[in-house]
Amino acid sequence: MGKVLLIGAGGVGTVAAFKVAQNSDVFTDIMIASRTKAKCDAIVKAIGNPNIKTAAVDADSVEELVALFNSFKPEIVINVALPYQDLTIMEACLQCGVNYLDTANYEPKDVAHFEYSWQWAYHERFKEAGLTAILGCGFDPGVSGVYTAYAAKHYFDEIHYLDIVDCNAGNHHKAFATNFNPEINIREITQNGRYYENGRWIETGPLEIHQPITYPNVGPRESYLLFHEELESLTKNFPTIKRARFWMTFGQEYLTHLRVIQNIGMARIDEIDYNGMKIVPLQFLKAVLPNPQDLGENYEGETSIGCRIRGIKDGKERTYYVYNNCSHQEAYKETGMQGVSYTTGVPAMIGAMMFLKGLWRKPGVWNVEQFDPDPFMEQLNKQGLPWHEEFDKDLEL
Ligand code: NDP
């Protein structure tokens, strides 16, 4: 049915490649490209399908991307490199007539700032070119937006309160490690918190607001309010929302390490002089931390991510909770990667599948909640991320 080019050969890229290869009726021609070709070749070897092509590409260079797109001629690019490359890849897509999907919004390298404005600014150009760009198609953002769209479509006349709750109840048996790219992860968590209430954004100190939340099959876990990019698009696309917040669990050990890392300056993202060389402390830290891709083997436990929603249906208040629990060990058995990479890579594949099947195809730049959630929800159940619903229960929030 279609030709797909995956960019990025990290944890998420590996899972997305496995899932794309499993759905060969939809993805008939596959290429994996990344900065280090050897990593792409290793993925192909692990999958065991020699028909998958690989290539080296520096995705910071529009010129290199254009040359690659013109030689492989993909219909859609799944961008699971880093958020820094979003705009160069979108630019190359426009130059070559290729559709686009990613899992994280663009971030400039020199300032940790999360907003969609840079990518939304491409809307008219994609529209004029007749190309579709699907933004934020991992789990959160991604499935969190699809869950919300599904709730709005089937269960609510108006959504008023939205809480996205993200629990990783896994144990990788390391003193400190991040579950995806450490640089991107630490930039996100050390930011001020922010949530939406009554038409405005309220800023908090980093991890200042927290409370225990009970997760299915896990129990109560301390959960911290963070800003997360889907809050921006969801409050725009569902204007009845009065309050939207994002919560993530962290263990005490993790938070202690994080505080020390910050206090000693290792979370800095500006360049410093070291022995006549310029280095960025956070990038140096990444080089000495465990590689998130190597966590899978000893990872126990599961993730539990969902949306807790309160609103009105037929004049009556109701609550709705929709979630997925994903086992790190099951993810590892299937793809060699842990649950956080799995919960991101599977939805990225499903988004590209939606596009190739013609179900999510409209010229312009869109967030996932702007498409029909039903076929995506159906695929989540088939592709390893089954979801569960609870109605009219106490949401705790
Ligand atoms: P990794 O660091 O494991 O992988 C990133 C990959 O991108 C690496 O293979 C890296 O190459 C490659 N890469 C980096 N820079 C370039 C470049 N300039 N040109 C070509 N390739 C490049 O990250 P993850 O797999 O953990 O995460 C991938 C993406 O998924 C990130 O954007 C992250 O923010 C997002 N994510 C989204 C989530 C969601 O739920 N929406 C959750 C988790 C992650 P090399 O191997 O050579 O370094």
pLDDT greater than 90 at residue 300: yes
68 within 8 A of 33, measured Cβ to Cβ: yes
Q: Which atom of ligand 1 is nearest to the CA of 291?
A: 3
Q: Collect all residues with Cβ–Cβ distance below 8 Å to 37 and sequence separation of at least 6.
A: 54, 55, 56
Q: Among 7, 80, 248, which residue has the most ligand 1 atoms within 8 Å of its CB, making it the best to mutate?
A: 80
278 within 8 A of 272, measured Cβ to Cβ: yes
pLDDT tens-digit map of 232-266:
999 999 999 999 999 999 999 999 999 999 999 99
Query: From the CA of 7, how far away is ligand 1's center (Å)?
Result: 9
Q: Name the closest-CA residue to atom 4, ligand 1.
A: 10
pLDDT tens-digit map of 158-214:
999 999 999 999 999 999 999 888 888 898 888 999 999 999 999 999 999 999 999
Q: Is the pTM of this model over 0.95?
A: yes
Q: Among 6, 19, 69, 82, which residue has the most ligand 1 atoms within 8 Å of its CB, making it the best to mutate?
A: 82
Q: Ligand 1 site: residues with CB under 6 angstroms? A: 8-13, 34-36, 39, 57-60, 80-83, 85, 103-104, 138-142, 180-181, 184, 292-293, 340-341, 344
Query: From the CA of 77, how far away is ligand 1's center (Å)?
Result: 14
Query: From the CA of 313, how far away is ligand 1's center (Å)?
Result: 40
Query: From the CA of 195, how far away is ligand 1's center (Å)?
Result: 26
Q: Which atom of ligand 1 is nearest to the CA of 183?
A: 2
Q: Which atom of ligand 1 is nearest to the CA of 61?
A: 18
Q: Which atom of ligand 1 is nearest to the CA of 82?
A: 32
pLDDT tens-digit map of 334-373:
999 999 999 999 999 999 999 999 999 999 999 999 999 9
* φ and ψ at residue 393, rounded to 5 degrees: -110, 165
Query: From the CA of 172, how far away is ligand 1's center (Å)?
Result: 20
User: What's the pLDDT score for residue 183?
Assistant: 86
pLDDT tens-digit map of 264-290:
999 999 999 999 999 999 999 999 999
> DSSP state, 132?
E
**Residue 204 is inside which H or E element, if any?**
strand 200-204
Query: From the CA of 391, how far away is ligand 1's center (Å)?
Result: 36
Average pLDDT of the segment spanning 136-148:
98
The per-residue DSSP string of 304-330 comes to EEEEEEEEEETTEEEEEEEEEEEEHHH
Query: From the CA of 11, how far away is ligand 1's center (Å)?
Result: 7
Q: Collect all residues with Cβ–Cβ distance below 8 Å to 121 and sequence separation of at least 6.
A: none
Q: Which atom of ligand 1 is nearest to the CA of 11?
A: 25
* φ and ψ at residue 185, rounded to 5 degrees: -65, -50
Q: Collect all residues with Cβ–Cβ distance below 8 Å to 138 and sequence separation of at least 6.
A: 12, 103, 104, 343, 344, 345, 347, 348
